[in-house]
Amino acid sequence: PRTIYLKDYRPPAFLIERTELRFALGEDSTQVESRLRLRRNPAAATPAAPLVLDGEDLELLSVRLDGRDLAPGEWVQDAESLTLANVPDAFVLEIVNRIKPQENTRLEGLYKSSGNFCTQCEAEGFRCMTYYIDRPDVMSVFTTTVVGEQARYPVLLSNGNPVEKGVLDDGQHFVTWHDPHPKPSYLFALVAGNLSCLEDSYKTASGREVALRIYVEPHNIDKCDHAMASLKKAMRWDEQRFGLEYDLDIFMIVAVDDFNMGAMENKGLNVFNSKLLLARPDTATDLDYERIEGVIAHEYFHNWTGNRVTCRDWFQLSLKEGLTVFRDQSFTAEVTAGTVKRIDDVRMLRSRQFVEDAGPMAHPVRPPSYMEINNFYTVTVYEKGAEVVRMYETLLGREGFRRGMDLYFERHDGHAVTTDDFLAAMADANGEDLSQFQRWYEQAGTPRVTVEDAWDAASGRYTLTLRQSCPATPGQPEKRPFLIPVAVGLLDAQGRDMPLRLAAEAQAAGTTRVLRLTEAEQQWVFEGLVERPLPSLNRGFSAPVRVSYPYTETQLAFLAAHDADAFNRWDAGEQLATRVLLGLIADIQAGREPALPERFLTAFAAVLTDAGLEAAVKAEMLMLPSENWLAEQMDVIDPDAIHAARSYARRALAGELEAQWLGLYHTHEVSGEYRFDPRDAGRRRLRNLALSYLAALDGKPMRQLAASQFEQADNMTDSLGALAALMLIDGAEREQALATFYDHWRNDPLVLDKWFALQASAQRPDTLARVEQLMQNPAFSIRTPNRVYSLIGAFAGNPTGFHAADGSGYRFIGAQVETLNALNPQVAARMVGVFTRWRRYDAGRQAQMRAELERLQGLDLSRDVYEIVSKSLQ
Ligand code: HT7
Ligand code: ZN
């Protein structure tokens, strides 16, 4: 496959002013008629270029130019395009082609899901429906007519507003939709099916009434209330926080069961994976409720950051994704508990994005090249991209950031732009030179900031020296210094924040200061201090970097108990626990008896019994670092020792503090009907965490405790919490509960996904056999991404299952990748990602993973899988 480079970007040779489409949906095939009003782009590089349209797997039936039928010799067709030489400067092109949505297993373009038609066009799916200039900088006004059998497809939807509808012969009907906002093809959507609709309305800040509709399969209509409430919350928040109003008369969301990713922000017609929309207390967990609220908000926020202002090319993906993730993170933090959200986001960034940034697929937030753009919907583009946007806010302040956003929309509304344009708006609106900030978009890798301090008691001066470096990444051996905002506080011996006065300042200003680290090495001197402080660094995770400072364990425990910055309190505890666990891993590897240090136990117990801590924050602080995170801290990853050490620590913490855990469990029962609110959700989280620790103690009493929670639970959070705890304990209760759960939910695929995932994640010797057996379950289908993610994906993420020393996990996932490669390359590419870090393991595992990658490389691979396999082997 060929590599596409950002440096080769050229403006399009033609623009499409109007796009009129007619889809005649059939049971065997669908006929697509398009009428495009094209004109040469005055900004094009080559004035007489031919017209090249993108198109894949299309059966071309006819081509007409300005009303004249063209003969086959007047165009050139290949597997990916249709070329017309010698076209006029402005003309109307009419094309008729046929496609087979029923045979579409890739789930790109038009396909069928549960008997309904739906589309997924981002990034390059539109070209699988009709010939088009399928790139985001070609924005057009769309009018779409959908024709289908009325009995099968009573609901016919597309973008914009409905302008005409009618009944045709042979039981067919049609609806015509017009979207007045010019948009790129990737935001096009069409849905047709037998769907029920939850209706509501919303009055915008300026007083316009917007109809809100959520479409689902009829049996799911009682699971849409949370999504609707979330949508209205998000609409209000965007008005209040960013002054952004919705711009059409109708906003629709459709849930589909077969979807490669989470959701899609098509203009006025969002399409959602049903797992991110449907929720009822007995079917969805608190985490599901939270995710749904976040993703509904995310897709809605794209209406401005992505749709009104879109990307010039796919290298700019983070322009819309990083910014929109930042917006959805801010929304969730403001409507729930901010600290917990920040901890969860950073935990995920560190355990996934830092890992990606240190591996063979590492790429900058704005990648310079790709083979397959679908492979670049990554944690780097999304989550690190969001951190980059957050740094603007940290540097410029909340008001400065808002000024930048306002200028961005003022300059670019209705256009397709770049991350440079975003940076320029932020800089210009605030009179700042942010040119060095550009490096966050261009350089891959996680920077390291090393901190040294010096205390001069005689003068009361405290000096912090910060040094930055960034490891080499593929294609980037050398890095230039970043502009890093490091938020710093200083604690006195009582754990109170000290007022901060930097040298040359007349008076102290605040207790947290954002230091702008721009050089490889820089110093800051704080004056007027009466005692040696303890630094609290990178408060709130102000920059996506690794910070090293030689804290002692006592200092970490002190910060964990006292830091005024709640995020850093958690982070200090996390660093301490990581150190302790790495010590236990070393003990196990050396054949020594592991023992939990007394100091750690005391600090842990203090958190466990702290009555002043909010339940959700306490749960965060009592969770041990994940096995993946611990793996990243090791030179040679040893999955067995990591698992043994972590299990040992859990058992020890459970055994030493059994009475306290039980106390916590019994005092955190949530009474009354299930409500999804941060307080109740926090209590359930903490209580289920207590149960999972207690489960580590094994034995009948704990089995009974979990089994009785399982029997009595009136909501999915508690039901699944109990089932997860039972999965940790051998005994009849476990199989009994699994069977009960299955019998109860056998007709609800989304709930069964949880059942699949729990079993595939179990760190037990028989897990692979169980997964193979579950693949035969009638509820499983390798063609449905949700099933694949929940069973095969969960197993791939199970460190002891996937990395079984005999290589069975590698061979199993390799075989699934091979099957998926032919059916759905996007899903296959997601599954193969677990092999990328093969060099980090011991020689035996390396050889087996490498062999599996080489075997895959020898197959006829899709572009998606080929790119990841070949880059992993480089
Ligand atoms: N913008 C959407 C990305 C997306 C997607 C990309 C490739 C293939 C399938 C896809 N489905 C959705 C989702 C978002 O980030 O909002
Ligand atoms: Zn997005």
Give pLDDT tens digits for 779-813.
Answer: 999 999 999 999 999 999 999 999 999 999 999 99
Ligand 1 atom 2 nearest Cα:
264
Q: What is the DSSP string of 454-498?
A: EEETTTTEEEEEEEEE---BTTB---PPP-EEEEEEEE-TTSPBP
Q: Which of 183, 264, 275, 372 to mutate to test the pocket of ligand 1 (most atoms within 8 A of CB)?
A: 264
Q: Which pLDDT does position 698 carry in this prediction?
A: 79
Cα-Cα-Cα-Cα dihedral sign, residues 318, 323, 326, 332: negative
Q: For residue 319, which ligand has an atom nearest its CA?
A: 2
Cα 257 to averaged position of ligand 1 atoms, centre (Å) = 15
Cα-Cα-Cα-Cα dihedral sign, residues 338, 344, 345, 350: positive
- ipTM of this predicted complex? 0.98
Q: Which of 111, 118, 122 to mutate to test the pocket of ligand 1 (most atoms within 8 A of CB)?
A: 122
CATH assignment of 749-874? 1.25.50.10
Cα 130 to averaged position of ligand 1 atoms, centre (Å) = 20
Residues 524-574 pLDDT 10s = 999 999 999 999 999 999 999 999 999 999 999 999 999 999 999 999 999
Place of tokens 């956003």: 405
Cα 782 to averaged position of ligand 1 atoms, centre (Å) = 21
Q: For residue 325, which ligand has an atom nearest its CA?
A: 2
Atom of ligand 1 nearest to the CA of 321: 15
Ligand 1 atom 12 nearest Cα:
264
Q: For residue 270, which ligand has an atom nearest its CA?
A: 1
Report the candidate in 546, 552, 553, 549 with the shortest Cα–Cα distance to residue 536.
549
Tell me: pLDDT of 134 over 90: yes
Cα 299 to averaged position of ligand 2 atoms, centre (Å) = 6
Residues 141-199 pLDDT 10s = 999 999 999 999 999 999 999 999 999 999 999 999 999 999 999 999 999 999 999 99
Q: Which of 377, 381, 830 to mutate to test the pocket of ligand 1 (most atoms within 8 A of CB)?
A: 377
Spatial neighbors of 440 by CB under 8 A, at least 6 apart, are: 365, 388, 391, 482, 483
Cα 275 to averaged position of ligand 1 atoms, centre (Å) = 15
Beta strands in 276-432 (DSSP E): 310-311, 369-370, 416-417
Q: How far is Cα 732 from Cα 711, in angstroms, rounded to an integer? A: 15
Instruction: Name residues contacting ligand 1 (CB within 6 A).
Output: 120, 122-123, 260-261, 263-265, 298-299, 302, 321, 374, 377, 826
Q: Which pLDDT does position 64 carry in this prediction?
A: 98
Ligand 1 atom 10 nearest Cα:
261
Atom of ligand 1 nearest to the CA of 302: 16
> Mean per-residue pLDDT for 740-768?
98
Cα 152 to averaged position of ligand 2 atoms, centre (Å) = 32
Tell me: pLDDT of 499 over 80: yes
Atom of ligand 1 nearest to the CA of 298: 16
> Mean per-residue pLDDT for 59-70?
98
Q: Which pLDDT does position 329 carry in this prediction?
A: 98
Ligand 1 atom 14 nearest Cα:
264
Q: For residue 386, which ligand has an atom nearest its CA?
A: 2
Asked if residue 716 lies in contact with residue 285, where contact means CB atoms within 8 angstroms, the answer is yes
Cα 578 to averaged position of ligand 1 atoms, centre (Å) = 34
Cα 98 to averaged position of ligand 2 atoms, centre (Å) = 31
Q: What residues form DSSP beta bridges with 452?
A: 465
Task: Name which of 491-495, 660-664, 695-699, 811-815 the model is least confident about.
Answer: 695-699
Map out the domains of the chain as residue ranges: 14-301, 318-484+495-534, 749-874
**Helix (H/G/I), strand (E/B), else coil: 223:** helix
Atom of ligand 1 nearest to the CA of 382: 15
Cα 80 to averaged position of ligand 1 atoms, centre (Å) = 22
* Torsions phi, psi for 244 (to 5 deg): -110, 120
Ligand 1 atom 6 nearest Cα:
122
Tell me: pLDDT of 45 over 90: no
Asked if residue 143 lies in contact with residue 176, where contact means CB atoms within 8 angstroms, the answer is yes
Q: Which pLDDT does position 47 carry in this prediction?
A: 85
Report the candidate in 299, 149, 287, 325 with the shortest Cα–Cα distance to residue 214.
299
Phi-psi region at 125: left, alpha or beta (left = phi > 0; alpha = psi -120 to 50): alpha
Q: Which pLDDT does position 820 carry in this prediction?
A: 98
Q: How far is Cα 431 from Cα 512, in angstroms, rounded to an integer? A: 24
Tell me: pLDDT of 730 over 80: yes
Mean pLDDT of the chain: 98
Residues 322-353 pLDDT 10s = 999 999 999 999 998 799 999 999 999 999 99
Atom of ligand 1 nearest to the CA of 325: 15
Q: Which of 108, 185, 261, 307 to mutate to test the pocket of ligand 1 (most atoms within 8 A of CB)?
A: 261
**Cα–Cα–Cα angle for 56, 158, 225, rounded to 5 degrees:** 120
Beta strands in 372-460 (DSSP E): 416-417, 448-456
Q: How far is Cα 88 from Cα 49, in angstroms, rounded to an integer? A: 11
Cα 434 to averaged position of ligand 1 atoms, centre (Å) = 30
Ligand 1 atom 15 nearest Cα:
321
Tell me: pLDDT of 28 over 90: yes
Q: Which pLDDT does position 337 carry in this prediction?
A: 76
Tell me: pLDDT of 669 over 80: yes
Residues 427-453 pLDDT 10s = 999 999 999 999 999 999 999 999 999
Q: Which pLDDT does position 228 carry in this prediction?
A: 99
Asked if residue 266 lies in contact with residue 204, where contact means CB atoms within 8 angstroms, the answer is no
Atom of ligand 1 nearest to the CA of 259: 11
Of the options 3.40.50.150, 2.60.40.1730, 3.90.550.10, 3.40.50.720, the CATH number for the domain spanning 14-301 = 2.60.40.1730
Cα 38 to averaged position of ligand 1 atoms, centre (Å) = 28
Cα-Cα-Cα-Cα dihedral sign, residues 774, 779, 781, 785: negative
Ligand 1 atom 13 nearest Cα:
264
Q: For residue 321, which ligand has an atom nearest its CA?
A: 2
- Residues found in the chain: 874
How many C-beta atoms lie closer than 10 Å to residue 218's C-beta? 9
CATH assignment of 318-484+495-534? 1.10.390.10
Q: How far is Cα 792 from Cα 181, in angstroms, rounded to an integer? A: 41
* Catalytically active residues, by annotation: 299
Tell me: pLDDT of 707 over 80: yes
Q: Which pLDDT does position 731 carry in this prediction?
A: 87
Asked if residue 420 lies in contact with residue 316, where contact means CB atoms within 8 angstroms, the answer is no
